Amino acid sequence: MTERCQGDTRPRTGPRARTAIVLAAAALLAATSAAFLPGTASAGTTLGASAAEKGRYFGTAVAASRLSDGNYTTILNREFNSVTPENEMKIDATEPQQGRFSYGAAEQIVNHARSRGMSVRGHTLAWHSQQPPWMESMSGSALRSAMLNHVTQVATHFRGQVVAWDVVNEAFEDGTSGARRNSNLQRTGNDWIEAAFRAARAADPGAKLCYNDYNTDNWTHAKTQAVYNMVRDFKSRGVPIDCVGFQSHFNNDSPYVSNYRTTLSSFAALGVDVQVTELDIQGAPAATYRSVVEDCLAVARCNGVTVWGIRDSDSWRASQTPLLFNSSGQKKAAYDAVLAALNNGTTPTDPPTTPPTTPPTTPPAGSCTATLQDSTRWGDRFNSQVTVSGASNWTVVVAVTPPQKVSNTWNGSPTWDSSGNVMTMRSNGSGNVFGFTTMANGTWTRPVVRSCTAS
Ligand code: G3I
């Protein structure tokens, strides 16, 4: 019996002609499916690309001293779309002498990342550890002022280049007390953390501001609950906090636990983003790596995962071989598990409660600043709003990620490049805020502002 496609009303023909018709129909169906059917976006083949398809990032800690290692940078450039300087933005690195700032190594990493389209997490502005000697010996109001000045100076220096800052790192005790860590910063007054967040917001209003800590993964632990209570308090009083970082250094003494997803979702329900910021797992068990990634993907406000180094030999815990690549740079089983988890993951459907913003770029003379903000989101599309400052006659270039397509715009005059993915929007007298609708076509990556020029 000869099968016929439903709806095929053409007269029956001979066997060779029928074969040709069937093959042509199959080819057409394959082509149109790949191009137009929702949910058929190809699975990524690298960590960063696969994470981006889910609207997330996959990052790594980077050491400036390793950027001259070709094996290291080959993996970095191929696999990751976010970086965190491992030590180069810490207080001892950026302000080695009081009032004398040193940004060379940090800038090396920032430039490497941003010139390749990777985003940067800043780590960290205020911390009891890795303080330079001058700060370690300070106390009281002098230390408070010095800390706030440090936050202001460093966040200002990198304004527009850092997507999220670990503003305060590791401020709580381990164990069952749930108390603040007894540090020189804590002794300046219990409000030192919120003071640091306010200073960071003033210095870089476009960056997400995170609190970052370790041993806060287990929802039942006193330290986790203590940080949760602080974030809830901050949100209720309007302290500018946008995100919480979970370092997630898992080992035999501090293992991954199945309530990790509960921890991430509980913090997210407070109205903050959550990020896995320093992931490494003793022995790199593939199943545990997979679980961590699946937990992040299950929480709409989990923005991404950062592993704390690339190869085992790059790890602060090298002897535990806790990373995704072995010391020769070869992919381990954990790598395959992470990639599979990213490719099988679902796209979040619940919109963020407070729309995240992309940081404004610092405009050179004669240009302007364009800030993109997420707006309404539906099952198949989402709106974005761009606010322009610094010019009334502006031209803003925005790119969407294929297979996304812009389906509607307002308050501007758009033109398109030949790919249809890069939109040049010009002011049309409707003010300094324009918007557009993007058909996701299975990809929920946020559109990117490429430039803003005043004419
Ligand atoms: O660069 C110097 C080198 O010149 C010197 O010869 C050598 C001698 O010890 O030290 C080198 O500096 C070391 C630095 O890493 C760079 O390798 C420091 O001693 C060492 O203390 C420092 O360790 C870093 C550690 O933070 C310090 O607390 C690790 O690389 C870094 O991975 C680790 O990262 C922290 C996060 O910031 C916060 N969460 C925990 C995580 C792991 O401890």
- Least confident stretch, 16-25, 283-292, 359-368: 16-25
Atom of ligand 1 nearest to the CA of 309: 32
Is residue 250 within 8 Å of residue 256, measured between CB atoms?
A: yes
Looking at residue 390, its pLDDT comes to: 86
Decide if pLDDT at 12 tops 60: no
Write the residue with the smallest CA distance to atom 22 of ligand 1.
Answer: 87
**Ligand 1 test: best mutation among 62, 65, 87, most atoms within 8 Å of CB?**
87
Looking at residue 145, its pLDDT comes to: 98
Percent of the chain exceeding pLDDT 90 equals 68
Query: How far, in Å, from the CA of 165 to the mean position of ligand 1?
Result: 19
For ligand 1, residues with CB inside 6 Å are: 86-87, 129-130, 169, 214, 247, 278, 316
Looking at residue 355, its pLDDT comes to: 37
Looking at residue 378, its pLDDT comes to: 67
Is residue 307 within 8 Å of residue 323, measured between CB atoms?
A: yes
Shortest CA distance to 247 belongs to which of 196, 289, 306, 190? Answer: 306
**Ligand 1 test: best mutation among 60, 66, 86, most atoms within 8 Å of CB?**
86
- Of 53, 170, 278, 294, the catalytic one is 278
Write the residue with the smallest CA distance to atom 15 of ligand 1.
Answer: 87
Looking at residue 28, its pLDDT comes to: 36
What does the pLDDT average to over 309-334?
A: 98
pLDDT tier, 358 (very low <50, low <70, confident <90, very high otherwise): very low
Write the residue with the smallest CA distance to atom 26 of ligand 1.
Answer: 87
Write the residue with the smallest CA distance to atom 42 of ligand 1.
Answer: 316
What does the pLDDT average to over 416-440?
A: 87
Looking at residue 364, its pLDDT comes to: 47
Separation between Cα atoms, residue 369 and residue 81, nearest integer Å: 24
CB neighbour list of residue 30: distance below 8 Å, 6 or more residues apart: none
pLDDT digits (tens, 9 = 90+) for 166-194: 999 999 999 999 999 999 999 999 999 99
170 is catalytic: no
Looking at residue 362, its pLDDT comes to: 41
Backbone angles phi, psi at 238, to 5 degrees: 75, 20
Looking at residue 377, its pLDDT comes to: 73
Looking at residue 336, its pLDDT comes to: 97
3-state secondary structure the chain: CCCCCCCCCCCCCCHHHHHHHHHHHHHHHHHHHHHHCCCCCCCCCCHHHHHHHCCCEEEEEECHHHCCCHHHHHHHHHHCCEEEECCCCCHHHHCCECCECCCHHHHHHHHHHHCCCCEEEEEEEEECCCCCHHHHCCCHHHHHHHHHHHHHHHHHHCCCCCCEEEEEECCECCCCCCCECCCCCHHHCCCHHHHHHHHHHHHCCCCEEEEEECCCCCCCCHHHHHHHHHHHHHHHHCCCCCEEEECCEECCCCCCCCCHHHHHHHHHCCCCEEEEEEEEECCCCHHHHHHHHHHHHCCCCEEEEEECCCEHHHCCCHHHCCCCECCCCCECHHHHHHHHHHHHCCCCCCCCCCCCECCCCCCCCCECEEEEEEEEECCCEEEEEEEEECCCCEEEEEECCCCCEEEEEECCEEEECCCCCEEEEECCCCCCEEEEEEECCCCCCCCEEEEEEEC
Higher pLDDT, 327 or 24: 327
What does the pLDDT average to over 376-381?
A: 74
Query: How far, in Å, from the CA of 121 to the mean position of ligand 1?
Result: 18
Looking at residue 172, its pLDDT comes to: 98
Bridge partners (DSSP) of residue 97 are 100
Is residue 246 within 8 Å of residue 264, measured between CB atoms?
A: yes
Backbone angles phi, psi at 127, to 5 degrees: -155, 145
What does the pLDDT average to over 321-328?
A: 98
pLDDT digits (tens, 9 = 90+) for 42-83: 568 999 999 999 999 999 999 999 999 999 999 999 999 999
Higher pLDDT, 366 or 334: 334
Distances (CA, A) of 96 to 131, 152, 206: 9, 16, 27
Structure-token pair, residue 262: 């509960």
Separation between Cα atoms, residue 217 and residue 312, nearest integer Å: 23
